[in-house]
Each structure stands twice: as C-alpha cells, then as structure tokens.
Amino acid sequence: MPNRATPTRRHLIQSAAALAAATGLPEWFLRRDLLEAAETATPAPTTQPRLPIALIGCGGRGQYVCEKDGGKHFDVVAVCDVDARNTKTAAAKFKGAEVYTDFRKVIERKDIKAVVNATPDHWHTLINMHALRQGKDVYGEKPLTLTIEEGQKLIQVAKQTNGILQTGSQQRSDKNFRLAAELVRNGRLGKLTHISTIVPTGAQAGPFKTQEIPQGLDWEMWQGQTERHDFVRERIHGLFRWWWDYSEGTITDWGAHHHDIALWAMGLDRSGPISIEGRGIGDPVKGGFTTFPSFHIDYQYANGVIHSSTAIPQTTAPFATDQLLSEAERAALKEQSKKNPKVPDKGWRNGVRFEGPEGWIYVTRGRIEASRPELLADPLPDSAVHLYHSDDHVGNFVHSVKTREEPICPPEIGHRSASHCHLGAIACRLDRKLFWDPEAEEFKNDEAANTMRSRPMHEPWGYEKV
C-alpha cells in the first residue's frame, strides 16, 4: 500500500498529462521528470533553517532574484549598493536587512553564508573572488565575467576555496531549454549542422552631457577597476551594458543566455569554438554608447557545426529583408517557410534554433517548436543522455550550498558561456576572422587578439587587491 504522502505512478501519469495540456511540452518528458523527482525525493526535515544571504547590487535584477526566485529559499539579512536609492528600495522590501555601501564590509559578516551578486558586469569577478576567499558561496549574475582572463582567474579561486558558485544562467533550469538541449544532444535532428542564436539589438544614442553626481552615489566606487570618466546618468543602472567599459551590449546580455544553451546542447559547455568571424553593425555615437547596437557573428566548432549569432530589432517583422542576415540564412528561412508557413508569422525572435538533416527545433522562453511534431512528441529511449535536471535555478544553488554538490551552472561552465560572448565581441572589434584554441584558451598566432583577453585594472583594484 503506497504511502498517502507519496504520489502513485498513476497519479504522476495523470499529472504529466495535465501539465502537457497546460504547457505544450510533450507528455513523455514531463512524466519522466515527475517520476525521477518522486524516486529521488527525500523527506524534508521537521525544521529546515533558511539560508542567511547578502544581496550585493540592489538594482531591479538583484531584488527580483532575491524576492521572486529566492524568497522561498533564503532570508536577505543585508543589502549593499553604492547608490543609496537602490539600498533604500531594497531595505524596504527585505525588512530587517542591514544596509551597506562597501561589499567588503558585508562579506566580513560571519553569519552570512552566501551572497547574491547582481552588480554591473565589470564588478562581477572581483566581488565573486573576494566572497569565495572569505568562505561565502555565491550566486553570480551572468555574464559571469567581463573578460576571458577574469574567468580563468575566478575558476582558480573557486577550486582553491572549494566554494559553490552558481552562474545566473537560469535558462538551464527551464524545461523548454533542457528539452531542446537533450533532443539535440541525443541526435533527434540527425547530425547537427547549424545553430542560430537571435538576440535583441542594443542601444545607439548620444552624445551625453556631463552631469553632477547624484547625492548618495559613490561614483568612484561604482567605476571600480575601469577607466575613469566624468559622470553621465546614462552610464549607470540598466544603461551600463551599452558601454564597452562595463559590458559588451547584447552580445553578453542575452548572448550569455542563448550561447550557454547552444554549448550545452552540443556537449561543449566546458569548451568552445575553433574560429570566430564577426562584424559590428552600427557605429557608436561619439560621446555616446560605445558597444555595437547590432552584430552578426559566425562561430565554427571542431564538430563542423556553424553557429550564427545575430542581433535583430525585436519590434520589426522577423528576418524579412533584414540586412543582418546572410544569404544562406535567408535561403534557409525561405525553405522552412515552405515546410511550415506558420513559423515565420510567429517569428524567430530572441531564442535558439537548432538545425540538422531531420529538421529544426526552435526554443525561447515559454515556447518550444519543431519543424515536425514528432521531433518533440516521440520519447527518447531509456538509454538516452539525460542532462542535469533543475527546475529552480536559485533553489538548485541553495541545495548545492547545503549539500556541497556541484550546481547546474558552476564557474567552469559560466566562464565558457561568457568567454564565447567575449570571443564574438573581440572578433567584431577587430573585424576579421580569428582562430581559437579552446583547450589552451588562446588565439592562434594573433598577438592583438590575445591582448584583448584581458583589460587593464584601475588602481587600487586587482585580482589580489580586493
């Protein structure tokens, strides 16, 4: 007689059918997930202490992660930001949280076991390294790093400290993306030939006027190790990603998410491409944003797969006569339109498309589609490769903190998805084809490109000066 608290197989099958009807995901996949979860479930302890964490970087993303994603897993006992406006709203949301302006002070607290680092990209690595060295575990927003060298250094620190670091590439904990990656990994499309990652275009604006530093903002600290500039409000908060000093535009913003899935599906998420050819589209405005508003990048891998990454306007008809597309991409889209005329109407927007001789699979947040229904509907065999199963990215991090098991997106993987983006950005800056050794992590016979794997750090900051 089954325990009343334990769902029966029949109940799980019924639940899978209901979920399939609600989500559009194949029933076999949901049933397998539910059965696996039931088999591995362990009784919850009577009292389960909540993890005390600090939020460093209290903008919208940081607050969202801690409230919406982390609220059921941990307590925010401290908030830290160099902008008093951010800490004011965060402190009001997380009642009782102590306010800090210096991340080093909050990391010193012995009662804090982990931190959520949601600062702008240029601050990710140094804060993550300092937290790990002080015995804290880290949930670090993507892209994990600003440069390739930063990722290499961060991995060394994580290994030395045995710390847990979860990269905030939350699409790995989304059923749609995991299903797409598993199907591709198991040859559902035949031998994979082409991947497209489509991201939104970035911003192109300026010039901007120098302004007075707002009261409550430590502009010197905000800039950290980057080159010093006069203050303009367009450099901070969500606009930071359009400045080369602090980010690389949508190449690293959305690209870090979608490239991560592309690498995962190929089993290359601890490796990378062998060549990169990119072009930036749209010159930055003098005195304005310094990242390319649009781009087209082609990556090639040792397995022969070509991966095209393109930024397109998200408010226009997808692809159409878009000059960002190559002739081959337009021809492929035309051919797909004949097979499934509904797809172009819905649009290849902001997502990942996998292609092979057996068809295509397209996945984006909240949606997965295929050129033929059976590509999704037919179950994989029992012998198929099963990818790491997580349905809660922050919950997976907290589980790893408590068990010391590796999370779904550890620094080695977060580094590779970020590096992939950096490689594309470097190719766009140099405007020529580059050849990459993914094992040595260096460009072949290209001193100029290898120099761009790192950036100078402004005193007093550095890898050993945090």
3-class DSSP assignment, residue 167: strand
Average the pLDDT over 15-35 and give the result: 83
Instruction: Give me the half-sphere count of Cα atoms (radius 13 Å) on the Cβ side of residue 96.
Output: 5
For residue 13, pLDDT beyond 70? no
pLDDT 10s digits, 268-299: 999 999 999 999 998 888 999 999 999 999 99
For residue 191, pLDDT beyond 70? yes
Instruction: Give me the half-sphere count of Cα atoms (radius 13 Å) on the Cβ side of residue 359.
Output: 16
Average the pLDDT over 227-234 and give the result: 96
Q: Provide the mean pLDDT of the chain.
A: 90
Q: Which residues of 418-435 are buried (b: 16+ CB within 10 A; e: fewer)?
A: bbbbbbbbbbbbbeeebe
Give the rounded percent of residues in the chain with a pLDDT score beyond 70. Answer: 87
Give the rounded percent of residues in the chain with a pLDDT score beyond 90. Answer: 82
Q: CB neighbours of 454 closer than 8 A, spacing ≥ 6? A: 147, 148, 149, 150
Q: Residue 316's pLDDT is what?
A: 38
**Other C-beta atoms within 10 Å of 404: how many?**
11
For residue 15, pLDDT beyond 90? no
Q: Residue 314's pLDDT is what?
A: 67
Burial of 405 (0-12, 13-18, 19+ CB in 10 A): exposed
pLDDT 10s digits, 37-63: 777 666 555 567 899 999 999 999 999
Q: What is the pTM of this model?
A: 0.89
Least confident of 182-191, 308-317, 340-349, 421-430: 340-349
